[in-house]
């Protein structure tokens, strides 16, 4: 099984992890992806069951993500993940990025966010943290995607 | 008195297959998810090869949406559910054209 190792700068990543932990609490326990504003196309009973499933899966995915930053990361700054974990970690990073967009970067126009044409200057502290985490997660997602074969 | 001939009511049985209209699985663009991520999700969920997944991803990116699949509602719902698990903005729509 293929394993991915990524070496990170601990002192830069640690505050982003604190921000992401705090964001997890702030985002609450909604199940559907945040960009979905209505679920009318779904059967209402089914939508409730799905939301529960999504909530549970999302919680498990985030646990997998935070488990990457355990003892080995604290010691050496490196994180390791195998192909089995990769799906959960990728999903959780997508969730975090969507939540950052929704909660802390909602004022940024879509095109600017998509092109990454943002500067930290003039942003509030929360926005700065949010954008730094947003960029960090995108870079990490790209590394994982590059080394992962879909199954 | 001669009675009017009574004609037997004509019964016509027509077999009709109640075909449900197909349902479309649609993915909408969002400014957050990476293109390479969306390609991977399409490959994983629908089993598309790389070029097909990429074609749909570009359709989402350039036209704002792409129809990924059409067919019975139950299967379409399952696909939408999987896409939600991967944090994509997906929904179901009745395929009125077919």
Contact B91, A41 (CB under 8 A): yes
Cross-chain Cβ contact B31/A42 below 8 Å:
no
Quote ipTM for the complex.
0.90
Residue entry with tokens 């409730």: A48
Contact B57, B35 (CB under 8 A): yes
- Return d(Cα A16, Cα A26) in angstroms, integer: 15
Best mutation target, B36, B84, B95, to test chain A (most A CBs within 10 A): B84
Cross-chain Cβ contact A97/B44 below 8 Å:
no
Task: State yes or no: pLDDT of B80 exceeds 50.
Answer: yes
**Tokens linked to A64:** 């997998």
pLDDT in tens, chain A (151 residues): 688 999 999 999 999 999 999 999 988 777 777 777 667 777 788 888 888 899 989 999 999 999 999 999 999 999 999 888 999 999 999 999 999 999 999 988 888 888 877 888 888 899 999 999 999 999 999 999 998 766 5
pLDDT for residue B13: 56
Minimum CA–CA partner of B94 in chain A = A41
Q: How many residues does chain A have?
A: 151
The 3-state DSSP class for residue B93 equals strand
Q: In angstroms, what CA-CA distances link B97 with A116, B47, B65, B70, B94?
A: 39, 25, 17, 11, 9
pLDDT in tens, B25-47: 999 998 999 999 999 999 999 99
Of B28, B31, B77, the CB nearest to A113: B31
pLDDT for residue B16: 47
pLDDT for residue B60: 96
The 3-state DSSP class for residue A103 equals helix
CA distance, residue A93 to nearest chain B CA (Å): 10
Task: State yes or no: pLDDT of B11 exceeds 60.
Answer: no
pLDDT for residue A115: 81
- Return d(Cα A150, Cα A83) in angstroms, integer: 9
Assess A91–B contact: CB distance below 8 Å, yes or no. Answer: yes
Taking the CB of residue A111, how many other CB atoms lie within 10 A of it? 9
- Residue-range definition of the domain harbouring residue A55: 3-148
Strand ranges (E), chain B: 23-28, 65-71, 90-94
Of B44, B85, B87, the CB nearest to A98: B87
pTM of the model: 0.87
pLDDT for residue A123: 86
The number of folded domains in chain A is 1
Strand ranges (E), A8-121: 78-82
């Amino acid at each position: 099984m293929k394993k991915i190792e990524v070496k990170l700068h601990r002192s830069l990543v640690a505050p982003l992890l604190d921000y992401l932990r705090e964001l997890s609490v702030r985002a609450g326990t909604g199940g559907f992806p945040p960009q979905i504003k209505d679920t009318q196309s779904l059967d209402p009973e089914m939508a409730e069951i799905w939301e529960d499933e999504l909530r549970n899966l999302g919680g498990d995915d985030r646990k997998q993500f935070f488990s990457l930053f355990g003892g080995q990361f604290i010691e050496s700054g490196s994180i390791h993940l195998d192909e089995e974990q990769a799906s959960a970690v990728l999903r959780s990073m997508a969730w975090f990025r969507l939540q950052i967009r929704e909660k802390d970067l909602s004022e940024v126009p879509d095109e600017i966010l998509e092109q990454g044409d943002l500067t930290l200057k003039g942003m509030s502290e929360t926005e700065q943290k949010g954008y730094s985490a947003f960029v960090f997660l995108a870079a990490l997602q790209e590394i994982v995607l590059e080394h992962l074969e879909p199954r | 008195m001669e009675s009017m001939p009574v004609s037997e009511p004509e019964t016509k049985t027509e077999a009709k297959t109640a075909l449900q209209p197909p349902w479309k699985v649609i993915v909408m663009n969002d400014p957050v998810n990476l293109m390479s991520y969306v390609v991977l999700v399409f490959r994983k969920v629908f089993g598309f090869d790389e070029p097909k997944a990429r074609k749909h991803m570009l359709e989402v990116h350039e036209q704002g949406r792409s129809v990924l699949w059409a067919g019975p509602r139950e299967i379409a719902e399952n696909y939408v559910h999987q896409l939600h698990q991967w944090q994509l903005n997906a929904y179901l729509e009745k395929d009125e054209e077919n």
